[in-house]
Amino acid sequence: MTIRLGIHPSVERLFPPSVLRSSLEAVDATVTDADETLTPDAALDGLVTFDYDPSFLDAGVDWIHVIRAGYDEFPLDALRERGISLSNSTGLHGDSVGEMVVGYMLGFARGLHRYRLDQPDRAWNPPAWDETFTLAGESVCVVGLGTLGRGVARRADALGMSVAGVRRTPTPVEHVDRRYGPEDLREAVADARFVVLAVPLTDRTEGLFGAAELAAMREDAYLVNVARGPVADQSALVDALESGSIAGAALDVFETEPLPEESPLWGMENVVVTPHAAAATDEYPGRIAALVRENCRRLAAGESVANRVV
């Protein structure tokens, strides 16, 4: 069975569709570019996409693959009712996100963010004797120990940091010294120099990190969010940063993306803003293609797709 596979133009958000199409040449499938809005005339078995469009529900596709881990805007019940399988790209981001988080932590520890701001003004501002520190011996609390969180924990441990983790299940996780349940979140973050949010966005995690959790952090602690914007209360975070109740934040995700120009976060020296780029890597199209190829094989064989959500 040859799979008729379409590539939705929204893939362009991460890489050119042509790059993915060329990476799929070896797959037993007919690969075409799909239209922005699909109709049953498209005659597709599967669709690879970044965004969701309501036309997907009635396009006659059997399977949709989203090229990111998040899928919160996809109507799972409606897909299930129509017998459409949905798979995502979880499991591919541990290395890139883990390295990005280490970059944030090193940047704050060594003052790199401040030096970069000084450079356009040719300002020579050495740090005060007590202004910088090393990561070795410092503590990090990783909230969420899936692919992203484990990628952070492995690298933090290698740098000599003490690693705590928050997850729903008590299963031991390599490179994590202490584990806490979600009910103990405030206790978990209380002693950490860095708090890293790495959970998926669900009904349970929306608004997970608010004013009370920020208040539980140390005054010299930094918040890192590589999860999703709504996991943290952005207004409460701005208040904490402006009041000095935490030392700073590195934010890759926001409640509204792109981050609006009027957001006070843009102008804060102790905040690093990145454009939802933690997962970006030149290897990403190839990794997506490998997952899509495997799912095409499974679909042709009548098997359940990998990374299945629905």
> Using alpha carbons only, what angle is made at residue 199 by residues 236 and 13, rounded to the nearest 5 degrees?
95
Average pLDDT over residues 297-303: 93
Q: What is the pLDDT of residue 29?
A: 80
Query: Please, what sign has the CA dihedral across residues 66, 70, 73, 75?
Result: positive
pLDDT digit string, tens, across residues 76-98? 999 999 999 999 999 999 999 99
Residue the block writes with tokens 């806490």: 180
Tell me the average pLDDT across 127-154: 98
**Among 15-24, 151-160, 238-247, which is the least confidently predicted range?**
15-24
Share of the chain above pLDDT 90, in %: 95
Q: Is the pLDDT of residue 109 over 90?
A: yes
- Which amino acid appears at position 100 of this protein? M
Instruction: Transcribe 8-67 into DSSP letters.
Output: -GGGGGTS-HHHHHHHTTTSSEEEEEPPSS--GGG--SEEEESS--GGGGGS--SEEEES
What is the structure's pLDDT at 26?
66
The DSSP bridge partners found for residue 250 are 224, 272
**Active site residues per annotation:** 228, 257, 276
Residue ranges in 165-251 assigned as alpha helix (H): 185-189, 211-216, 234-243
* pLDDT score of 22 more than 70: yes
Instruction: Convert the pLDDT of each residue in 154-167 to its tens digit.
Output: 999 999 999 999 99
pLDDT attached to residue 79: 98
pLDDT of residue 170: 87
